[in-house]
Amino acid sequence: MFVVKPFKRLAPTRQSGLHLALGLVLIGTIAGCSKEEPAAPGAATPATATAPAAPPKPAVSAQVAAMGADQLRELAGTALREQRLYAPAGSNAMEYYLALRDKQPNDPAVASALTDLQPYALIATEQSIVREDFVEAQRLYALMEKTDPQAPALPRLKSTIATAQQAVAQRALAEQTRTEEAAKRQVELEKERAKQQQLAQQQAAQELEKPKPAQPSAADVAAQREAERVAAEQRAAQQREQEAAAKAAAAPPPAARASSELRAISMPSPRYPSAAQRARQSGQVQVEFTVAPDGSVSAARVVSAEPERVFDREALAAVKRWRFQPVDSPVTTRRTIAFNPGN
């Protein structure tokens, strides 16, 4: 979170153009900040995360500090027009104005320009921290600190940078620990695999050293196969005799068997469909069905019908109500049922 202070109103000089340019850039910068994506975990390099802090570089480069006042003023105006407010390092408006303030500390236009540029540096610093670009964050922090050492945001920024650097260092250390543990586990797995392979080879060698049983001769093998064939034929003959005896014992006498000829006991006529009756439509349906041993009908289905799907339902319903005399085994048959409106 950051707070942008209102700009101080300057006298109607060439600095009025600075306010207009900075105002437009501020709108674009705030919009870009609202869309800033957090850096992916591990984005910082190990050097950024773990290297000891180097001495801070001066906010203004030696090359810029060595320039004359007129050159600095001209370069600062160009940098503003090209929207190089605080970057790149060594070629931005803030560095030029800071060097110019060192040479002309009582110039109110320079002081006003630096005051106007300070909020942009604050935004850029926070964005650099989010990206974990701590080198850039430290550079921008140095620009802000040189611009106004008493700026309220400086303590918070300094603490945030330090905390973020520590978090990145801890993350890098944890990643390094995980990598080392994974490598250690891989070494242990390789050792265990080598141990298992060695044990398997030892067992295989022991199997090879065992004396092999004597191989039977061709004559012995032929004699054994012949004996097995004869025994199998004897078992098959015995089984056939047992099955024939059991079948003869289980068969009922001829007088006790039920007739396999279908004799109807009840064959109710089908109902004539109302629509076909009104249209005086005739037709026929061939039905296939199975008569169970108790004489009931099952598995009825339409084989053919003229016309199709007009009398099918009534024909099936009638056949399912038919009854026949008992038979010794299920019998499947077909019947054709005629439908005539004159009957």
The model's pLDDT over 308-340, given as tens digits with 9 standing for 90+, comes to 999 999 999 999 999 999 999 999 999 999 999
Q: What are phi and psi of 216, to 5 degrees?
A: -65, 155
Does residue 330 contact residue 311 with C-beta atoms inside 8 Å?
no
Sequence-ordered list of residues with C-beta below 8 angstroms from that of 231, at least 6 positions apart, any chain: none
Tell which wins on pLDDT, 234 or 174: 174
Considering the entire predicted model, what is its pTM? Answer: 0.44
The end-to-end CA distance of the chain, in Å, is 98
Neighbouring CB atoms inside 10 A of 266's CB total: 9
Amino acid letter, 204: A
Does residue 301 contact residue 272 with C-beta atoms inside 8 Å?
no
Domains and CATH numbers, the chain: 15-172 (no CATH), 264-339 (3.30.2420.10)
- For the cut 70, the answer to whether the pLDDT of residue 64 exceeds it is yes
Mean pLDDT to the nearest integer, 234-244: 86
Given this model, what pLDDT does residue 119 score?
Answer: 96
Does residue 112 contact residue 8 with C-beta atoms inside 8 Å?
yes
Given this model, what pLDDT does residue 2 score?
Answer: 37
Given this model, what pLDDT does residue 28 score?
Answer: 47
Given this model, what pLDDT does residue 84 score?
Answer: 96
Lowest pLDDT segment from 36-40, 116-120, 154-158, 266-270: 36-40
Does residue 4 contact residue 26 with C-beta atoms inside 8 Å?
yes
CA distance 275 to 337: 18
- For the cut 90, the answer to whether the pLDDT of residue 268 exceeds it is yes
Q: How many CA atoms lie within 13 A of 202 on its CB side?
A: 6
**303 closest CA partner among 282, 288, 293:** 288
Peptide bond into 253 cis (omega under 30): no
At residue 300 the predicted structure's pLDDT band, cuts being 50, 70 and 90, is very high
Given this model, what pLDDT does residue 217 score?
Answer: 80
